[in-house]
Amino acid sequence: IEPGQTVTEIKESLVDAGLLDDPSAFQYAVVRDRVDQLIKAGTYTMGAGITPAAIASRLAADPDPPTPV
């Protein structure tokens, strides 16, 4: 997630990455849970087959810590 990305841009990135097959369900979960106010820029690890609601919940949590160089 990049700084300033909108939920629509995030949704499109998730679709492009093959993580999201139901964009409408993701959008609904984001609005229902008010996740749009909680998303922070950063990297988020998610497994294959994660549900749209679980993706929204993951984005409401802190991003992964930076990888040491």
DSSP collapsed to 3 states, 13-58: HHHHCCCCCCHHHHHHHHHHCCHHHCCCCCCCCCCCCCCHHHHHHH
Residues 6-57: pLDDT tens digits? 999 999 999 999 999 899 999 999 999 999 999 999 999 988 889 999 999 9
61 SS3 class: coil
Q: What is the pLDDT of residue 67?
A: 80
* pLDDT given at position 69: 77
Whole-model pTM?
Answer: 0.86
Q: What is the pLDDT of residue 24?
A: 93
